Amino acid sequence: MDITPDSVVYWQSGALKINATLVFTWAVMALLVGGSWLVTRRLTTETSLPRAQNLLESIVEGIQGQIRDVTQQDPGRYLPFIGTLFLFIAVSNVLSIVPGFKPPTGSLSTTAALALAVFVAVPIYGIAAQGLKGYLKTYIRPSVFMLPMNILGELTRTIALAIRLFGNIMSGTMIAAILLSIAPFFFPILMNALGLLIGLIQAYIFSILALVFIASATRAHEEGKPDEAAYAQEETIDG
Q: In the range 177-236, which residues lie near other proteins by CB under 8 A? A: 201-202, 204-205, 208-209, 212, 235-236
Q: How far apart are CA 21 and CA 19, in angstroms?
A: 5
Q: Report the length, in residues, of the chain.
A: 239
Q: How far apart are CA 201 and CA 83, in angstroms?
A: 15
Nearer to other proteins, 169 or 217 (CB): 169
Nearer to other proteins, 88 or 213 (CB): 213
Q: By CB under 8 A, is residue 238 in contact with other proteins?
A: yes
Nearest distance in Å: CB 238, other proteins: 6
Q: By CB under 8 A, is residue 167 in contact with other proteins?
A: yes
Q: How far apart are CA 91 and CA 78, in angstroms?
A: 20
Nearer to other proteins, 7 or 12 (CB): 7
Nearest distance in Å: CB 229, other proteins: 16
* Cβ atoms of residues 90 and 145 within 8 Å: no
Q: By CB under 8 A, is residue 23 in contact with other proteins?
A: no
Three-state SS at 186 = coil
Piece in contact with other proteins (CB under 8 A), picked from 26-34, 118-126, 133-141, 170-178: 170-178
Q: By CB under 8 A, is residue 98 in contact with other proteins?
A: no
Nearer to other proteins, 117 or 175 (CB): 175
> Which of 94, 95, 97, 174 lies at the binding interface for other proteins (CB under 8 A)?
174
* Cβ atoms of residues 25 and 105 within 8 Å: no
Site string for other proteins, 122-161 (x = CB under 8 A): --------------------------------------x-
Nearest distance in Å: CB 2, other proteins: 8
Q: How far apart are CA 228 and CA 216, in angstroms?
A: 15
The packing angle between helices 187-218 and 51-71, to 10°, is 50
Q: How far apart are CA 34 and CA 30, in angstroms?
A: 6
Site string for other proteins, 65-94 (x = CB under 8 A): ----xx------------------------
Say which amino acid occupies 117.
A
Looking at the chain, which runs of residues are DSSP E strands?
9-13, 16-19
Say which amino acid occupies 220.
A
Beta bridge partners of 19: 9
Q: By CB under 8 A, is residue 59 in contact with other proteins?
A: no
Instruction: Tell me the C-alpha to C-alpha distance, in Å, between residue 32 and each of 46, 86, 91, 103.
Output: 25, 12, 8, 15
Residues that bind other proteins (CB under 8 A): 1, 3, 69-70, 160, 163-164, 166-168, 170-171, 174, 201-202, 204-205, 208-209, 212, 235-236, 238-239
